[in-house]
Amino acid sequence: MRATAWRPTANLRRRKSKYLSLLDASGVAAVFFFLLGLYLVTTPPFHTHSGLVNLAPVAHAKPQKGALREDAIIVTVARDGSVFCCGTKVLPQDLPELIRDAYKNGAERKVYVKADARAKYSDVKAVLDPIRSAGIQDVVFLVE
């Protein structure tokens, strides 16, 4: 007797399998969309970057929701020492009057300072003194 290799018969080749061999990616897509939604919810809704300053990076920053208000008093110190209050360029000597006016118009009694990470300390100090002379004790530095 000769040994022959086994070959499926014609009936076996035509018979369909009971098992469906398709990959279902809906579970993977659901997990992906869940993680995407979780990421979008947990990221802060505001960015503290502006084209004018590069904020100092810190390890343990706390979000300041009051800085998002329309009437928030934000004083910006640029790298070259120029000072901006509420989006307009001002001299440091004019800050107490502007801050008092903003406070009278309903702004909270807190000043947010955006100082460039590479700004000189003397420029930042020149802004802090007029803020204190306006009667504001709460000064918050916005960081990254």
Q: What does the H/E/C string look like for the chain?
A: CCCCCCCCCHHHHHCCCCCCCCCCCHHHHHHHHHHHHHHHHHCCCCCCCCCCCCECCCCCCCCCHHHHCCCCEEEEECCCCCEEECCEEECHHHHHHHHHHHHHCCCCCCEEEEEECCCCHHHHHHHHHHHHHCCCCCEEECCC
Query: How much is the pLDDT for 4?
Result: 66
pLDDT for the residue 120 = 92
pLDDT at residue 82 in the model: 92
Tell me: the pLDDT tens digits for 101-119? 988 888 888 999 999 999 9
Delimit the domains of the chain by residue range.
65-141
Over residues 21-28, mean pLDDT: 78
Fold of 65-141: Nucleotidyltransferase; domain 5 (3.30.420)
Task: Decide the pairing of beta strands 83-85 and 73-77.
Answer: antiparallel
- Per-residue pLDDT reduced to its tens digit, 38-75: 888 876 655 444 567 888 888 888 888 888 888 889 99
Confidence of residue 20 (pLDDT cuts 50, 70, 90): low
pTM: 0.63
> Considering the chain, what percentage of its residues have pLDDT values greater than 90?
37
Amino acid identity, residue 7?
Answer: R
